Amino acid sequence: MEGPDNLLKAYPNQILNIHPALLPKFGGKGMYGSHVHKAVLEAKEEESGITIHFVNENYDEGEVIHQSKFKIEPEDTVEMLQFKVQQLEHNYFPKVIESILKKM
């Protein structure tokens, strides 16, 4: 059975991740889903968004390919941030994949 390291070596700069925040902030082990959105709100950030990046051997430290952001409103909740992030993901992930494939 192949482990993650073997996959990373077999497919360098070919595995993508969408992180639900603007890296390098709010990245790393345990920072996913609602955990990220809660941390963003607790830090009283003015904006959040998505980061599409290549996967490497370190959590959320691969080369950034694309970032999109939105303004956080005072009434925003974790659920509202999650919805806004999903809208950006649905819009930009296919475009980023298409752009990468055209370069291959």
Asked if residue 26 lies in contact with residue 59, where contact means CB atoms within 8 angstroms, the answer is no
Active site residues: 19
CA angle 50, 51, 54 (to 5 degrees): 150
Task: Report the C-alpha gap between 100 and 93 in whole angstroms.
Answer: 11
